[in-house]
Amino acid sequence: KHQYNQSLNLQHTPIARCGGEMADEDELKLLSTWASPWASMVKLALHLKGLSYENIEQDLNCKSDLLLAFNPVHKKVPVLIHNGKPICESVVIIEYIDEAYGSTSPSLLPTDPYERAIARFWVDYIDHKLVIPWKVAFTANTEEDKIEAIKQILVGVNVLEGDSQGMLQREALLRW
Ligand SMILES: N[C@@H](CCC(=O)N[C@@H](CS)C(=O)NCC(=O)O)C(=O)O
């Protein structure tokens, strides 16, 4: 086992036990900015999972070596650093912490595969139809671009609310 770990340079790496518990020291650092909705989603997930972490605020106008080293592909926040290993992209991070800390905290995703697929569908929907247009509106250079992005958000919200109304009605009908 020792030789195997040495060949993979795993001798100092904490081992993820089955069920997701982490052995030895367990350190979580988050590269984020206060204004990032994607970083806020990760912070919310960390809080829901009851995990403590060190937040390292980033200046996106002058990106740190840490951010460039840990997210060389996109150079964006959020980045979670778990025991020195980076995980990028908010949804990937959230699913990672849900799996890595599966047995020690409440699950964020449903256990049923179909329900998981539905949850992922709405996560993707919110990202593309609400959060991305919100960022466009926030950073738009012209009033027209801003108005166009806000219109897209309103359409997205209507679909979301319409569906939740529909689901509530279906639930009520089923109970009746
Ligand atoms: N798809 C990414 C989006 C992350 C993102 O766009 N982050 C912005 C801050 S809100 C960023 O770091 N921007 C820096 C840049 O674009 O150079 C995720 O879900 O994590």
CA distance 151 to 169: 27
Pull the structure tokens for residue 77: 């926040």
Cβ(77) – ligand 1 distance below 6 Å: yes
| Cβ neighbours of residue 74 closer than 8 Å, sequence gap 6 or more | 88, 89
20 in a domain, yes or no? yes
Is 57 part of any domain? Answer: yes
Q: What is the pLDDT along the chain (176 residues), one digit of tens a residue?
A: 344 333 333 333 333 334 444 445 799 999 999 999 999 999 999 999 999 999 999 999 999 999 999 999 999 999 999 999 999 999 999 999 999 998 888 899 999 999 999 999 999 999 999 999 999 998 999 999 999 999 999 999 888 887 666 565 556 545 55
CB of 58 within 6 A of ligand 1: the answer is no
Tell me: the pLDDT tens digits for 108-145? 999 999 999 999 999 999 999 999 999 999 899 999 99
- Boundary-marking domain end, from 100, 133, 165: 100
What's the pLDDT tens digit per position in 98-114?
999 988 888 999 999 99
Tokens 């964006």 belong to: 76
How far apart are the CA of 71 and the centre of ligand 1, in A? 11
How many domains, the chain? 2
Range of the domain at 34: 16-100
Q: Which helix (H) or strand (E) holds 29?
A: strand 28-32
Statement to judge: residues 60 and 83 lie in one domain? yes
Tell the residue nearest (CA) to atom 6 of ligand 1. Answer: 76
Q: Is residue 8 part of a domain?
A: no
Is the CB–ligand 1 distance for residue 87 below 6 Å? no
Do residues 96 and 26 share a domain?
yes
